Structure 1
Amino acid sequence: MLQRLEVQNLAVIREAVLELAPGLNVLTGETGAGKSLLVDALALLLGARPEGMVGPFGDSLLVTAFFQGPEPKVLSRRVGGRSTPRIDGEVVSLRELGEEAQKRLSLHAQHTALALLSPRRQREVLDALLDPALLARYAEAYAHHQALLAEKEALEAALRERRAREDLLRFQLAEIQGAKVQPGEDEALLEEARRLRHLEALKERAARAQALMEEGALEALEAAFRELRSGARYDRALEALAQDLEAALEGARAVAAELSAYLEGLEDDPGRLAQLEERLDLLERLKRKYGPTLEEVLAYGKRAEEELARLEGGEARLAKVERELQVAQEALLQAGEALSRAREEAARRLMAGMEEELKELGFPRPRFLVDLKPLPEPGPSGLEEVAFRFSANPHLPPAPLSAMSGGELSRLALALALLTGAEAPTVVFDEVDTGLGGETAWKVAERLARLAQTRQVLVVTHLPQIAAKAHRHLRVVKEGEEVRLEVLEGEERVRELARLLSGQYTEAALSHARLLLEAP
């Protein structure tokens, strides 16, 4: 429940502290004192827009609410300057603050962000009349179906990627295998291509060398050999030199013969050079794509072949998930149809109960409709949307709740709370008593007191019948620029009820006020 509300610089309120008790709390006070501003402060915690709410007493306003319960929480929101929503002192988003506040607080007032107007809240109110097991069964079936659907989509995406990968691997493997690459062949081909590219230069140099040998180099060596052999008859030291020169002469003759053969083999072959250039280009492309060497190109091809073998197959899990998804779809529809039937029955009971309850709350001939509109496909909460509609005039069709006035909507929310119990631990009403008096005022007061048996209720009111039922009566007092809250007890409370009754403190009004307080 809400234990304490602190407000700073909110419109005409410089600073105020509202301390609430369990049960029924009422706020009374003169018009313009700032009663509804305290409700607006709570609306800020629920996410309402703060347009024009920062007061003249500073650059920002601050609202802080202290909640008791199994999980105590402190919710605050600063507006202006560095606007910051906080939960237990930790900065959060405005959405997170609103969601946390909605767990603890229901607000029914004019010009505020009313949760009851949202389809989600209307569905939750109707579902409060259902067996929780039905809701849990559908939620479980929906979660299982969604999980399988997500897995199916992931598998299909993986298969698409896998097939694309397989296609790429097959192409790469065919490219490498089709080239019939041999380790080191690029070096041999480069050598052959280099020779063919410089064929004319090779012919020229080999022919010149051959001519030099034939034109005198061999004759000179032979003459030198003969001279050394002749001299060796007189000096054995020249014998060894003669033998070395003879060996050189034999080598020269061999070189001359090889040069002749080499020149005969130097034939121009443009076709062969073109083949070599084409092959070398292919090998260079493969090396650029798959590795800097042919050995690494071959290694890449082996890895591609192994990966392709691993990837082939894999549709088995997808087929299994698709079978499971069909079963899950049937289970989801069954759970949804059971939930829909229960909602239809609950809607009939709620419509009947609401029309009776609303008659007691000042609507002579009310029409309350629960509209169940089928969804095109199962949603997180069922097979249909839930929408409440209302008409106070039997000649007009029921319209969305957004067409109701603040006071009408507050009374409708009170009736729903009593019939369904679908409210937060703290419920706030402003304008619930608008336009009421006499017997209807008593009935509203009795119902607020009944709701306060299971909820903490805060009501801003001008009706003495409601104020007399309060467990805690607070009065908002404005003196100049100051607004303060007073807890009324004893004779002070009697005087405030007398003011609400007649605007005066006559003996008759005071006596009537005492009777109200003594009424059961």
Structure 2
Amino acid sequence: MLTHLSIKNFAIVRLLDIEFSSHSTAITGETGAGKSISIDALGLCLGERAESNMVRKGADKAEVTATFSVKENQSAQAWLQAQDLEDEDHLCIIRRVVSKEGRSRAWINGIPATLQQLKAFGALIVNIHGQHAHQELLKPESQRAMLDESGHHDAILANVKKQSHEYNKLLKHLQSLLNEEQQRIDRKQLLQYQLQELDEFELGIDEFPHLEAEFKKLSHSQALLEDSQICLFNLYESEQGTALSIVDDALDKLSELVEHDPTLSAVTTLLSEAQINIQEAAEELRHYVERLEIDPLRMQQTENRYGKAMELARKHTVMPEMLAAHHQALKEEHAALEQQDNDLASMNENLDILKSSYFESAAKLHSARVKVANKLSKQVTEQLHKMNMPHATFSIEVVSNGEEKINSHGTDEVRFLLAANKGIEADSIEKVASGGELSRIGLALQVLTNKQSATLMFDEVDVGISGATASVVGQLLRDLGERNQVICVTHLPQVAAKAHQQMLVTKFSDKDITETHMQPLSQEQRIEELARLLAGDKITDSALENAKGLLQIQQENLI
């Protein structure tokens, strides 16, 4: 329930602070005075788009603050709790600020909030029936949405949406595969050719570094053998003198000299180590020469394999050491393409299964809609009879289009039909309903489909009606206000007189500024305002008497 609305520098409003009744409130005023501004401002608090022209001329920003009591609204309480925005007094204060540049910020209970959060909360707490709602009522998708809103088949509808999404997603993927089929065939042929050559070569993952090392060794084996033998001869085996014999001679002489100069002991130590190292090196070199074999056949095989590896690497434009990994990647790509071919068959099977499940759920949704349509048709017809359309028949036609198309809202086409008078065949409301009849149908649907805990706001719901019908509509809004909060912008005295509370919107202008004001009316002020609505600008005694009569009749009805 909306308890308070504060508006600062919004449009032509400089400052408004409004306390709302928990029942029905009528907002009246002259044309152009700004009667709908409170609804527009509240819409801003509930996530409507902010624009720079909302800021009053000369002001830096516009600010709207709406205070709601959610004590009786369990859904709103649960949402606030889930968002960690709950208040211990069950209040929700929404504040929205719009700068003159058009930028906006919002808070819920003092915590910054997004527009998505404002819209989500607004859907739980307020139902705004704007001036153009009648036009929305003429759209088939709006008629279907209103029928679904009044029903209790949310789970079935959600299942239909889910299955539709899954089917269309899989269908899109299948069509993508089919569209790319020729590309896939060409790619598979290329991969098969490349893989045949690589499979035949079959290079191991870590083989190339070893192959390269062996190739270098074998290709230089003759030089390795000859030079190693020369080195061994010079180190240890030459009769003309070896490195070892030279070190031995030097060590013998210096060992004798150490007795004369002990500082040479360090040199002798180094030479002793060198003697040992040369002996060990010569021994290792001898073993190496003995093990080294020159195998022309092995050398030819290694050279051929190394050359083939280098050739394939150049052919596939990869480094030789990456050839094995590239081979594996091509295998995986080919396997994936093969799997896609296999998937085509399974996808068609899955599509058939999803399609069958979808139409089964759509059939359940159709049955649920037909049931709700029959019930709602009778209820709307009863409401229209109360609103001075005693011979009207309202009906909702739900026709399944069979298996033409899979979409998120099922297979049904929904049409609102009206026969306004006896002997007239029912037809679509967009063809036969007048403006006043649309107003009454829209009001009846709003009354019947409204959530018990939501605030109802009507912006000139009484367009196109007058006289006795207006009085009936006013009574309907008052009755609705007994169990819901109702706020109605109206230009009809019969509607305004039925409200529990009435507010007057006035506009003040001079050369520089224009301001809109709104104030609650006392009993006497209500009589004057109702007289103005009855008689126009010039209030006559008879208009005052008629206004008193309207209020008196209402009070007598309450006794």
What interval of TM-score do these two structures reach, taking the shorter chain for normalisation?
Answer: 0.5 to 0.7
* Contact persistence 2:418–2:432 (CA under 8 A): no
The amino acid that maps onto 1:139 is: A
Out of 18-27 and 426-435, give the one that drifted further. Answer: 426-435
- 1:76 aligns to what? 96
* Contact persistence 2:5–2:19 (CA under 8 A): yes
- 1:455 aligns to what? 484
| CA deviation map 1:367-413 (0-9, x unaligned) | 645354545323222212434355768599534399864x6544322
SS at match of 1:341: helix
Quick one: which of 395, 419, 436 aligns to 2:448?
A: 419
| CA deviation map 1:142-196 (0-9, x unaligned) | 42464466468669979989999876664443233456889349769999xxxxx
Shift of 1:428: 1.6
Tell me how large the CA RMSD over aligned residues is. Answer: 4.9
Quick one: which of 104, 125, 130 aligns to 1:109?
A: 130
Is 1:488 the counterpart of 2:514? The answer is no
SS at match of 2:411: strand
Shift of 1:444: 0.9
Quick one: which of 406, 412, 433 aligns to 1:378?
A: 406
- 2:23 aligns to what? 23
SS at match of 1:519: helix
- 1:238 aligns to what? none
The amino acid that maps onto 1:466 is: V
| Identical positions, percent | 30
Shift of 1:35: 1.5
Is 1:173 the counterpart of 2:195? The answer is yes
Is 1:283 the counterpart of 2:304? The answer is no
SS at match of 1:378: coil
- 2:296 aligns to what? none
* Contact persistence 1:47–1:113 (CA under 8 A): no
Distance 1:56 1:105 in 2: 29
The amino acid that maps onto 1:137 is: I
Shift of 1:32: 4.0
* Contact persistence 2:160–2:410 (CA under 8 A): no
| CA deviation map 1:208-255 (0-9, x unaligned) | xxxxxxxxxxxxxxxxxxxxxxxxxxxxxxxxxxxxxxxxxxxxxxxx
Distance 1:342 1:180 in 2: 65
Distance 1:349 1:373 in 2: 16
Residues 73-152 of structure 1 correspond to what in structure 2 (within 5 A)?
Answer: 74=94, 76=96, 78=98, 80-84=100-104, 86=106, 88=108, 90=112, 92=114, 100-110=121-131, 116=137, 119-130=140-151, 132=152, 134-140=153-159, 142-144=161-163, 146-147=165-166, 150=169
Distance 1:188 1:316 in 2: 49
- 2:356 aligns to what? 330
- 1:398 aligns to what? 428
The 1:301–1:326 alpha-carbon spacing in structure 2 relative to 1, beyond 3 Å, is: closer
The 1:118–1:101 alpha-carbon spacing in structure 2 relative to 1, beyond 3 Å, is: farther
SS at match of 2:316: helix
* Contact persistence 1:10–1:62 (CA under 8 A): yes
Distance 2:32 2:324 in 1: 89
Distance 1:114 1:391 in 2: 19
| CA deviation map 1:436-476 (0-9, x unaligned) | 44432331122112222343210122444433433333222
SS at match of 1:484: strand
The amino acid that maps onto 1:126 is: L
* Contact persistence 1:186–1:283 (CA under 8 A): no
The 1:297–1:356 alpha-carbon spacing in structure 2 relative to 1, beyond 3 Å, is: closer
The 1:334–1:302 alpha-carbon spacing in structure 2 relative to 1, beyond 3 Å, is: closer
Q: Which runs of 5+ in 2 are unaligned?
A: 71-76, 81-91, 221-302
- 1:65 aligns to what? 66
- 1:472 aligns to what? 501
The 1:387–1:189 alpha-carbon spacing in structure 2 relative to 1, beyond 3 Å, is: farther
The 1:38–1:387 alpha-carbon spacing in structure 2 relative to 1, beyond 3 Å, is: farther
Shift of 1:300: 5.2
Distance 1:302 1:435 in 2: 77
- 1:249 aligns to what? none
Is 1:41 the counterpart of 2:41? The answer is yes
Q: Which runs of 5+ in 1 are unaligned?
A: 192-275
Distance 1:102 1:180 in 2: 66
Distance 2:452 2:438 in 1: 15
TM-score (norm 1): 0.64
SS at match of 1:447: helix
The 1:49–1:82 alpha-carbon spacing in structure 2 relative to 1, beyond 3 Å, is: closer
| CA deviation map 1:462-515 (0-9, x unaligned) | 444433433333222334444332223454445544555563577745752344
The amino acid that maps onto 1:175 is: E
The 1:190–1:40 alpha-carbon spacing in structure 2 relative to 1, beyond 3 Å, is: same
Shift of 1:424: 8.0
The 1:68–1:309 alpha-carbon spacing in structure 2 relative to 1, beyond 3 Å, is: same
SS at match of 1:58: coil
The 1:177–1:290 alpha-carbon spacing in structure 2 relative to 1, beyond 3 Å, is: farther
Structure with the greater alpha carbon radius of gyration: 1
The 1:305–1:186 alpha-carbon spacing in structure 2 relative to 1, beyond 3 Å, is: farther
* Contact persistence 1:108–1:409 (CA under 8 A): no
Distance 2:359 2:101 in 1: 52
* Contact persistence 1:85–1:97 (CA under 8 A): no
